[in-house]
Structure 1
Amino acid sequence: MATTIEIDDLRELVAEVLDVTADSVTEDAHFMEDLGVDSLLALELAVALERKFQIRIESHEMTDITRLRDVHELMQRKVSEAA
């Protein structure tokens, strides 16, 4: 049975890594434009997600991640594949 990932849990993790408030990490907030994410922060976020969910994120997958909803979709898919 696949694990369901709560978007609010992801919001907290993303906010912590990006050093912003959880309220600013909306589903539609653009990481680069709205939250100031650069390539180093994107890498830190990928590492944090890999550790928390015990999955592997390929670099090409991170290039498609621009918003919280993208992170949620990717994590749901990765965790389902690993199950």
Structure 2
Amino acid sequence: MSIDAVTRLDREELRELLAETIDADVAEVRDGADFVETLGVDSLMALEVVVVLERKYGVKFTETEMRSVRTLDSAYDLVRQKLQERS
């Protein structure tokens, strides 16, 4: 991973971004908390999460990858992977 990609991906910044996007308290966005099951995110808001991540980090997700973004951990891992592929 390039240094630029590392500096662009901060777990706590990502947590805050996700919390803001799904209109949740930052404390509710725990690493493994499922956005849909635990935080009540509907499919439209889940799509918004993906769009926000793509814009913020300049990456593109496949449809399968989009469906896998259900927790902070999965979002972090996927964005990290995409940044690695790009560098």
TM-score (norm 2): 0.89
Residue matched to 1:46:
50
Aligned length: 83
Moved over 6 A (4+): none
What is the root-mean-square deviation in Å for CA atoms of aligned residues?
1.0
Q: Which runs of 5+ in 1 are unaligned?
A: none
Is the CA contact 2:50–2:69 (under 8 Å) kept in the aligned structure 1?
no
CA distance in 1, matches of 2:85, 2:41: 27
Pairwise mapping of residues 28-39 of structure 1 onto structure 2 (< 5 A)? Answer: 28-39=32-43
Distance in 1, matches of 2:24 and 2:72, equals 13
Secondary structure of the residue aligned to 1:33 is: coil
TM-score by length of 1: 0.93
Q: How does 1:52-71 map to 2 (within 5 A)?
A: 52-71=56-75
